[in-house]
Amino acid sequence: MTTKAYREITIPAVILGVLQGIIMTAAFVYAGLRLGFGIGGSTIAAIMGFALLKGVLKKGTICENNINQTIASGINTTGSGIIFTLPVLYLMGFLGNDLTSDIKILGLIALAATAGSFIGVAVIIPLRKQMIDFERLRFPSGTAVSVILKSPGAGKTKAMLMVGGTLLSAFVSFLMHKGLIPESFDLGGLLGFPIYTQTAIYLSLMNLGAGLLAGKGGLPFALGGCLAYWVLAPIAVQMGWVPTPEAMSPEALGVFQKDFLYGNMLRPMGIGMLIGGAVCGALMTLPVLKSVFKSLAQAASASGEHSFLKNDEMPLKYIVVSVIGSFLFLLGICNFIAPEMGFLQSFVVAFAGLVWMILAGMIVAQCTGTTDTSPLSGLSLIAVTLILFLSGQKVLVTVLIGVTVCVATAQCADMMQDLKTGFLIGGIPVKQQMVQLCVAWIGPLVAVTTVAILWKYGSGSPGFGPGTTLPAPQADALQSMIGGVMSGNAPYMKYLSGGLLGAALSVLPVGGLGVLIGLSMYLPFFITLGYGIGCVANMIIVKAKGLSWVEDYVTPMAAGLIVGEAMIGLVFAVMDIIK
Amino acid sequence: MQNTLWILYILVFIIAAGAGLKVSFDPNGENVQHVIVSAWFYPSLIACFLIAFGFKKLQAKEDDKPEDHTTMQSSPDTYLNLIVITYPADGSVSQDIIEKIQSICLQMADERFAYIQKYGIQKFSEFFEHFSHGERYLNRSWSALVDNHHQESLESFQTSQKYFEHALEKYNLLK
C-alpha cells in the first residue's frame, strides 16, 4: 500500500507510448500500403505497457498504462490518414521528381496532418460526453483494451476467459493468414441464395467479438445489412435495374451483379446515408450538445457545496482555438498552393474542409462506437470530391485538405476509443486529451517520412503503386476517384438520395439509425452478418443469464477475440517488413 | 399504434430506398430519371418523414400522461437511492462494495433509452451526466484499489458518492 500520488501521466508512460507509437506508425504505414487498411495499435500498446511498466519497472498503474496506450495509438493512428491520401501525389506525379519541391510539399503535408490531429482531438471534447456519458456507445476495441488494463484485479476466471479468447482468435486468424481456412463461410451458396445477396459469414472472430460486445445496440446495423442485401438488392435485380451482360456463365453473372450492386448502388447510397444521417442526427441531438456545453462551463466554476464537481474535460477555449486555428491554416494552404483561387474561393474551400472534418468526426465516432468499423475511406472520398469541386479541380489543394480531413477523422475515432477505455478504468479525460495533443505532431512526421522513404527505396521502381509489392490500394482508389470527378463522373445523385434517406432515418426515435443503416450499406454484407450474429448471441445470453453474467463472462472472452486477431495482424505486418 | 407505425415506416422506407437505388444509377438519361424522382422517390421519402414525425407526436402524447414506469424496470431514483445506501457509513472502501455498486450502475445505464423516452433527452442528460461522472470515479476507485493506492481509491470512492447524491438531487428537481 502506498500514500504517494497515484501514477497517471509519468515519464516512463510517455516515453514508452512515444516509442511504441513511432515503431507502430512506420510498421503500419508499410502494412497499409501493402494491404490497403490500417491496423489499430491500442491493444498491443496496452499489453506492452502491462509487461514493461508493471512487469519490468514494477511501478505501473492501470491509469498510467492507459496513458501509454493513448499516446501510442494517438501517434500510430495518423498513419491511416496518411496512407490513404499522400501516396496519390506520388502516383499522380506531383511528388517524386524534384527533391526541393518534394521537401516543400511533404513539409506542408506534415503540417496539414498535424492540424488534422489537433482538430480531431478538439472535436471529441463535446462528443465524449454525448457518446460515452449519455449514449454509452460500446466502443468494442476501447472496451477490449479496458479489459486488458483491468486484468490484474479482474480475477482468475475473467483473466482466463480473456486469454482463452485471445488464443482462439489468434489461432483462427493465423490459419486465415496462411490460407488454411477461408475468410468467410458461404452460407448463401449452401442455402441457394443468389450470389449478389453476398450471404456469407466473415469468419473473423474479431468481428464476432465486436458484435458480442455491442449487443442490442448494434442490431440496427445488422438489420440494415439484411434490408440492403436481402430486400433492396433482389428488388433492384428483379426490376431489371442491374445490367445483365450476355454471354456470361451464371456464376460470372452472379459475381458481376454482386460487384455492380455493391459498387454502383449500395455503397454510394450508404455513403450518402452516413452523411445525411449524421447531419440530421446532429440537429436532433442539439439539446444534448447545449446541455454538454452548459455543463462544461458550469463545472469550471463550481464552488460551495458543489465544489466536488470537477472539471475533468479540456476547457472550451481549446475547441475554439483549434477550430479557428485549423480554419486559418486551411485558408493559408489554399492561398499558398493556389494563389490564383482568390480569397473568396479559398475561404469557401477552407470552410467546407473544416465543416466536413467536424461532420466526419461525428460520423466515425458513432460508427466505431457501435460497430468498431470506421468508414474512413468513404468519408475521405467524399471530402476529396467536395474540395475538388469547390477548388475548381486543384489536385494539390484537394489532397492537402484531404490529408487534414483524413487524419482528423482517424484521430476522432481513436481518441473516442481511448476515452471509452479511460471511462471504464477511471481515467481523467483531460489528461488523455492533453497527452494526445502534445504528441499530435509525431505521427504525421513519422508517417510522411516513411512514405517518402518507401517511394525512394521500395521494392519496385517506383517504390509503390499498382504492379509493385506495395500496391497502395487506397491511394489507387483515391486516384480513380479524382479522375472520375475531373471527367465529370462523380456519383452525386447517389450521395443525394442516400443523404435524404439517412436524414429520414435519423428523425426516428432510435439514436444514430441513419448512420448505422448507412454503414451497413457501405460495408460488404459478410462483415455485417458476422457482426450481427455476435449481437444476437449477446441478446440471447442477456435474456438467459442476465446482464451481470454477460459482463463477467462474455465481455472478457469477446475482448480476447478482438485482441488475438489484432496481435496476429501486427505479427504478420512485422514479418512482412523483416522480409 | 407504435408497432403499426413501425411496419408502415419500414414498408415506405423500402419503397423510398428502392427508388433511391434507381435514382442512383439510371443509364437511360436525365428525363427518365426526373420522372422517377418526381413520381416515386420524393413522395415515399416525404411519407417516411411524416411517419417519423408521427412517432414524435405519439411520444409527446404519451409523455403528457400521468407518470407510469411500465416501460422501465425501475425509475432512476430507485437505482440512485440503492446506490447511495450501498456506500458504507464508515466511509471504508473495498473491491466487493465497488463491484456491487458497479453492478447497480450497469442496470441503471441499461435502462437509459426508457429514461430518454420518458423524460426527454434534455432532462435525461441533466441528471444522467452526474451519474456517469459518479460511475467513472467508481471505476477509478476500483483501479486504484487494485493498484494498491488506497488513498486515491478512497478519495475517488467518496467523489463518486457525491456525484451519485448530486444526480439524485438533480433527478428529484426535474421529475
Are B175 and B119 contacting, i.e. CB atoms less than 8 angstroms apart?
yes
- Alpha-carbon distance of A159 to A281, in angstroms, equals 39
Number of domains in chain A: 1
Nearest to B45 among A132, A310, A500 (CB): A500
Per-residue pLDDT at A352? 92
State yes or no: pLDDT of A239 exceeds 60.
yes
A538-543 contacts: CB < 8 A, separation 24 or more? A538/A211, A538/A212, A538/A213, A538/A214, A538/A215, A538/A216, A539/A215, A539/A216, A539/A219, A542/A215, A542/A216
**Tens-place pLDDT, residues A404-417:** 988 998 899 899 99
**Residue B37 pLDDT > 70, yes or no?**
no
- Cβ–Cβ under 8 Å, residues A439 and A13: no
Q: Which helix (H) or strand (E) holds B33?
A: helix B30-36
Would you say residue A110 has pLDDT above 60?
yes
* Residue A356 at interface with chain B, using a CB cutoff of 8 Å: no
Q: What is the pLDDT of residue A309?
A: 63
Across the interface, which of A236, A288, A498 has its CB nearest the CB of B121? A288
Q: State which residues form the domain around A481.
A: 11-243+251-489+508-578
Output the pLDDT for position B69: 46
Contact A308 B143 (CB under 8 A): no
When the pLDDT of each residue in chain A is averaged and rounded to a whole number, the result is: 85
Interface contact flag, A493 B23, Cβ < 8 Å: yes
Mean pLDDT of B3-9: 85
Residue A442 pLDDT more than 80?
yes
Residues of A in contact with B33 (CB under 8 A): 493
CB A567 within 8 A of CB A162: no
Query: Residue A266: its chain B contacts at CB < 8 A?
Result: 21
Residue A192: CB atoms within 10 Å: 7
Nearest CB to A501 within list B20, B120, B143: B20
Give tens-digit pLDDT for A553-568: 888 888 888 888 877 8
Q: Is residue A79 part of a domain?
A: yes
* Distance in angstroms (rounded) separating the CA atoms of residues A385 and B135: 43
* Domain-embedded: residue A494: no
> pLDDT digit string (tens) for A133-192?
888 888 988 998 898 888 877 777 877 888 899 999 999 999 988 889 998 889 988 888
The length of chain B in residues reads 175
Q: Is the pLDDT of residue B89 over 60?
A: yes
Compute the average pLDDT of residues A536-541: 94
SS3 category, A472: coil
| Residue A528: inside a domain | yes
**CB-closest option in A493, A508, A548 to B55:** A508
pLDDT value at position B31? 47
**Interchain contact, A508 vs B13, CB within 8 Å:** no
pLDDT for residue A416: 92
Q: From A514, A502, A194, A267, select the one nearest B21 (Cα to Cα).
A: A267
At residue B61, does pLDDT exceed 80?
Answer: no
Cβ B139–A423 below 8 Å, yes or no?
A: yes
C-beta separation of A166 from A567 below 8 A: yes
* For residue A10, pLDDT beyond 90: yes
In a domain, A393, yes or no: yes
Q: CB atoms < 10 A from the CB of A316, how many?
A: 15
Query: How high is the pLDDT of residue B158?
Result: 94
Minimal CA separation from B162 to chain A, in Å: 7
Q: What is the pLDDT of residues A370-423, one digit of tens each?
A: 888 778 777 887 888 889 889 988 989 999 998 998 899 889 989 999 999 999
- Mean pLDDT value across residues A439-443: 92
Distance of CA A26 to the CA centre of its chain: 18
Look at residue B157 in the predicted model and tell me its pLDDT.
Answer: 95
At A255-281, the pLDDT tens digits run: 898 988 888 888 888 888 888 888 887
Distance between CA atoms of A499 and A501, rounded to whole angstroms?
5
- Flag if A497 and B140 touch (Cβ within 8 Å): no
Residues of chain B in contact with residue A304, where contact means CB-CB under 8 angstroms, are: none
Task: Say yes or no for a CB contact (<8 Å) between B132 and A504.
Answer: no
In a 3-state reduction of DSSP, which class is residue A513? Answer: helix
Collapsed DSSP state (helix, strand, coil) of residue A185: strand
Q: Which amino acid is at A196?
A: Y
Residue B122 vs residue B131, higher pLDDT: B131
CB A167 within 8 A of CB B109: no
Rounded to an integer, the average pLDDT of A60-64 is: 91
What 3-state DSSP class applies to A201? strand
Name the pLDDT band for B164 (thresholds 50, 70, 90): very high
Contact A134 B125 (CB under 8 A): yes
**What is the rounded distance in angstroms from the CA atom of residue A383 to the CA atom of residue A36?**
19
- Determine the Cα–Cα distance for residues A293 and B170; give it in Å rounded to an integer: 18
Q: For residue A9, report the phi and psi dihedrals to the nearest 5 degrees.
A: -90, 110
Q: Hey, what's the cell of B173? A: 428537481
Contact by Cβ (8 Å): A61, B147? yes
Which pLDDT score, from 0 to 100, does residue B87 have?
Answer: 94
Specify the pLDDT at position A459.
60
Q: Which residues 205-244 of A are in CB contact (within 8 Å) with B?
A: 227, 231-232, 235-236, 239, 241, 243
Choice among A66-75, A285-294, A507-516 with the minimum mean pLDDT: A285-294
Q: What is the ipTM of this complex?
A: 0.81
The mean pLDDT value for A88-100 works out to 87
In this predicted structure, which of A83-92, A292-301, B153-162 has the lowest mean pLDDT? A292-301
Nearest to A427 by CA among A53, A9, A37: A9
Q: Does A311 touch chain B (CB under 8 A)?
A: no
**Window A:245-264, CB contacts with B under 8 Å:** 264
Task: Find the CB nearest B110 among A63, A509, A547.
Answer: A547
Closest approach of A7 to chain B, Cα-based (Å): 9
Task: Please give the full DSSP string across A279-345, using - where no structure is assigned.
Answer: HHHHHHTHHHHHHHHHHHHHHHT--GGGTT----SPPHHHHHHHHHHHHHHHHHHHHHH-GGGHHHH
Q: B103, A548: Cβ pair inside 8 Å?
A: yes
* Facing A426 at nearest CB: one of B53, B142, B151: B142
pLDDT at B122 (0 to 100):
80
Query: Using an 8 Å Cβ cutoff, are A287 and B121 in contact?
Result: yes
Give the per-residue pLDDT at A160.
84
Q: How far is CA A91 from CA A380, A474, B60, in A?
A: 17, 12, 56
pLDDT at A445: 94
Q: What is the pLDDT of residue A39?
A: 65
A430 touches chain B (CB under 8 A): no
Question: Is A495 inside any structural domain?
Answer: no
B167 has pLDDT over 90: yes
On the question of pLDDT at B33 being above 60, the answer is: no
**Average pLDDT rounded to a whole number, residues A40-55:** 80
For residue B10, give the chain A residue with the closest CA.
A227
**pLDDT value of residue A300:** 55
